[in-house]
């Protein structure tokens, strides 16, 4: 046996208020939408929408009138009394493109602010004027009404207790201006017009500079900032036109970009997300579209293939603006990059044209100062980079002194950008700096100093052997740096494997032991970090001349700990113990020498 669904209208209204419409303010947008669709269905000679607030009606009610197509009595029964039924679909259920409404639930939003909704309508196709009155309890009445002078519809709302402010003059005027300022039909609240004509980007100007200034002023009034620049947007497939305003101040990449979107010139939302690619967070858009679909709450855009295509098209237009800026106005481009470098770098990770722009125009930090990557390659050929800021600060001065160019890739996206540079030219060589490479570029010692250095190194090796480090004496700049801790990539990998093996047991430990060599073969020679002592440093020259084994051990351990701290290297328990031991030992040595001096 077949049965129909029974609908609890109060439950539906509660569902709409709590989960679909984010605010009761949606009721006026839905009323404007119905009025616009009625005018679109059969435009009269002088189309108009009139809103009469309580100050005009005098009885606390709100009237919304249009002189559109109206409804017959049969249509009133069919459309107003069936939840989800809409006249704005064709026989296959698809929405008719010239209408704003699609879901057949718009009139229910009025029950968010009123317990009773009255609709007085007369059809342009003929018939008498009828009055439909819907009640929140779930019933409605239809009866003849006083004849209207012309076809059209009037909706009357009387606020429920506690909702009076939603129908007040000030609220209604503000909502009508927000939602309907760009509508193609004149809208008035009482005697006050709220429509402002066509969208500002479609207005006619004889002088392009006047148009630009008008759009900048529009952004100041609407978005509350004066843009860095204005970019025209146009996506015919989505029926989309509008402008993107480039923000004058930086925003974090994690900030969610939102835009002001109109649907057939009715405001969809002021914080619509997903219109631009994620990397384009430096722009805020104001657009009007006729083909993109809204979500059921009419606050966001429905995610479908057309929205994805539109997003890609708008991203391409923003990218073209950046490329054009580089070609025509390098000074303005530099101004833009100084503010929005993060967004451009994010794009360069995925886009070759933006990679080329970053390579030519965006300064990066290097050991030789700030310069573009293109200039850096002209100076040094190979692009070597430090993957972290700490590593760059540790090695930049030393690398530069040895003639090794070094780029600081410790900032967002820069390492990925550097590794993509060969896409611009296969001849470009990019390498992460291996700290061990710096030792091979340092100057050898004067043969006359070798004997004293060798005696010193014998004591230094014994001091550092238990710390897993090899002492080396070289001459390098700057002389103010007495010691440098260098751990090559292989040394770091072996140290990580040893630490993992020490903390593992059973099968995991056996597997990690197997990484050090093939079974039955001798283990590879361990790669040890090096403590490079700078023979050009006056302090190190005095240290090398020491002959007391205990004092040499204390001084070498102190230099080792200092080099670790200077390079922001992690300190193991053994390293901390050695640093403490050397500090206390040197203090004791100094006190002992002072006591001996006093005795003399």
User: Could you read off the pLDDT of 421-454 as tens digits, one per residue?
Assistant: 999 999 999 999 888 777 777 877 877 778 878 8
- More confident call, 27 vs 526: 27
pLDDT band at 100 (very low <50, low <70, confident <90, very high): very low
pTM: 0.71
SS3 of residue 257 by DSSP: coil
Contacts of 324 by beta carbon, 8 Å cutoff, 6+ apart: none
Percent above pLDDT 70 for the chain: 84
Tell me what the mean pLDDT of segment 508-532 comes to: 61
Please give the pLDDT value at position 180: 93
Please give the pLDDT value at position 492: 54
- More confident call, 240 vs 269: 240
Please give the pLDDT value at position 83: 56
SS3 of residue 437 by DSSP: helix
What is the DSSP annotation of 123-177? Answer: -TTS---EEEEEETTS-EEEEE-PPPSSSEEEEEEEEPTT-GGGGSHHHHHHHHH
For residue range 128-185, list pLDDT tens digits in order: 999 999 888 778 899 999 998 899 999 999 998 999 999 999 999 999 999 999 999 9
Residue 14 pLDDT more than 60?
yes
Please give the pLDDT value at position 109: 82
Show the tokens assigned to 321.
């603006």
Please give the pLDDT value at position 443: 77
For residue range 570-589, list pLDDT tens digits in order: 888 999 999 999 999 888 88
Please give the pLDDT value at position 18: 54
Tell me what the mean pLDDT of segment 460-468 comes to: 90
What is the DSSP annotation of 375-412? Answer: HHHHHHSSEEEESSHHHHHHHHHHHHHTT---EE--ST
Please give the pLDDT value at position 103: 31
pLDDT band at 499 (very low <50, low <70, confident <90, very high): low
Cα gap 301→295, rounded to integer Å: 6
Please give the pLDDT value at position 251: 75
Please give the pLDDT value at position 10: 66
Output the average pLDDT for the chain: 84
pLDDT band at 521 (very low <50, low <70, confident <90, very high): very low
Q: List the domains of the chain with CATH numbers.
A: 9-193 (3.30.565.10), 200-328 (3.30.230.80), 365-433 (3.40.50.11260), 444-487+529-599 (1.20.120.790)
Residue 477 pLDDT more than 90?
no
Show the tokens assigned to 406.
């070094």
| Side-chain-facing half-sphere of 255: CA atoms under 13 Å | 17
Q: CA angle at residue 179 from 178 to 185, to 5 degrees? A: 120
Please give the pLDDT value at position 354: 86
Residues 286 and 259: beta-carbon distance below 8 Å:
yes
Tell me what the mean pLDDT of segment 299-326 comes to: 92
How crowded is residue 516: how many other Cβ atoms within 10 Å of its Cβ? 14
Residue 7 pLDDT more than 70?
no
pLDDT band at 242 (very low <50, low <70, confident <90, very high): very high
pLDDT band at 390 (very low <50, low <70, confident <90, very high): confident
Residue 122 pLDDT more than 90?
yes
pLDDT band at 240 (very low <50, low <70, confident <90, very high): very high
For residue range 202-232, list pLDDT tens digits in order: 988 889 999 999 999 999 999 999 999 999 9
| Side-chain-facing half-sphere of 372: CA atoms under 13 Å | 13
Cα gap 42→64, rounded to integer Å: 18
Instruction: Out of 305-314, 397-406, 511-520, pick the least confident.
Output: 511-520
Show the tokens assigned to 436.
């061990």
Please give the pLDDT value at position 403: 85
Residue 87 pLDDT more than 60?
no
Tell me what the mean pLDDT of segment 248-252 comes to: 82
CA trace torsion 518, 524, 529, 535 (10° rounding): -160
Tell me what the mean pLDDT of segment 551-568 comes to: 89
What is the phi-psi region of residue 386: left when phi exceeds 0, alpha when psi lies from -120 to 50, beta otherwise? beta
Residue 487 pLDDT more than 70?
yes
Which of 12-16, 276-280, 409-413 reaches the highest mean pLDDT?
Answer: 409-413
State the helix-helix crossing angle for 305-328 and 330-348, rounded to 10 degrees. Answer: 140
Please give the pLDDT value at position 378: 94
Please give the pLDDT value at position 375: 95
């Amino acid at each position: 046996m077949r049965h129909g669904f029974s609908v609890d209208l109060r439950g539906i209204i509660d569902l709409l208020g709590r989960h679909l419409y984010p605010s009761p303010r949606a009721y006026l947008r839905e009323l404007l939408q119905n009025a616009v669709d009625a005018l679109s269905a059969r435009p009269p000679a002088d189309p108009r929408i009139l809103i009469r607030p309580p100050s005009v009606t005098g009885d606390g009610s709100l009237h919304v009138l249009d002189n559109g197509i109206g409804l017959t009595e049969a249509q009133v029964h069919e459309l107003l009394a069936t939840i989800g039924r809409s006249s704005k679909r064709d026989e296959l259920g698809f929405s008719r493109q010239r209408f704003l409404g699609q879901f057949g639930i718009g009139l229910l939003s009025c029950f968010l602010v009123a317990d009773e909704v009255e609709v007085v309508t007369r059809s342009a196709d003929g018939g008498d004027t009828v009055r439909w009155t819907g009640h929140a309890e779930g019933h409605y009445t239809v009866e003849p009404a006083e004849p209207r002078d012309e076809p059209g519809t009037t909706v009357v709302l009387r606020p429920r207790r506690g909702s009076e402010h939603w129908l007040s003059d000030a609220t209604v005027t503000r909502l009508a201006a927000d939602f309907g300022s760009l509508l193609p039909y004149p809208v008035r609240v009482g005697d006050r017009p709220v429509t402002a004509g066509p969208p500002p980007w479609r207005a006619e100007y004889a002088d392009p500079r006047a148009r630009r200034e008008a759009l900048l002023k529009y952004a100041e009034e609407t978005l509350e900032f004066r843009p860095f620049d204005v970019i025209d947007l146009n996506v015919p497939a989505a029926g989309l036109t509008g402008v993107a305003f480039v923000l004058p101040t930086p925003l974090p990449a994690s900030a969610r970009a939102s835009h002001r979107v109109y649907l057939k010139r009715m405001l969809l939302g002021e914080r619509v997300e997903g219109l631009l690619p994620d990397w384009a967070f430096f722009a805020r858009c104001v657009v009007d579209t006729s083909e993109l679909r809204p979500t059921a709450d009419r606050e966001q855009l429905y995610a479908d293939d057309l929205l994805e295509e539109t997003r890609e098209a708008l991203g391409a237009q923003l990218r073209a603006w950046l490329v054009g800026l580089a070609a025509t106005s390098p000074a303005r481009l530099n101004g833009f990059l100084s503010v929005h470098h993060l967004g451009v770098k994010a794009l360069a990770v995925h886009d070759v044209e933006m990679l080329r722009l970053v390579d030519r125009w965006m300064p990066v930090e290097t050991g030789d100062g700030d310069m573009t990557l293109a200039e850096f390659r002209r100076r040094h050929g190979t692009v070597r980079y430090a993957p972290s800021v700490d590593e760059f600060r540790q090695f930049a001065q030393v690398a530069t002194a040895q003639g090794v160019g070094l780029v600081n890739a410790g900032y967002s996206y820069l390492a990925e950008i550097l590794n993509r540079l060969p896409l611009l030219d296969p001849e470009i060589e990019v390498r992460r700096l291996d700290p061990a490479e710096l030792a091979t570029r340092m100057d050898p010692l004067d043969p006359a100093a070798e004997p004293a250095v060798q005696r010193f190194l014998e004591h230094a090796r014994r001091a550092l052997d238990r710390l897993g480090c090899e002492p080396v004496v070289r001459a390098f700049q700057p002389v103010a740096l007495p010691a440098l801790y260098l751990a090559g990539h292989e040394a770091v990998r072996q140290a990580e494997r040893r630490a993992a093996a020490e903390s593992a047991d059973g099968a995991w430990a056996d597997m990690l032991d197997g990484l050090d060599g093939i079974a039955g073969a001798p283990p590879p020679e361990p790669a040890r970090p090096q403590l490079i002592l700078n023979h050009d440093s006056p302090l190190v020259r005095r240290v090398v001349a020491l002959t007391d084994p205990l004092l040499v051990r204390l001084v070498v351990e102190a230099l080792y700990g200092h080099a670790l701290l200077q390079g922001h290297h992690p300190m193991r328990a053994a390293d901390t113990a050695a640093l403490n031991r050397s500090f206390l030992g040197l203090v004791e040595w100094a006190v002992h020498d002072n006591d001996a001096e006093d005795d003399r």
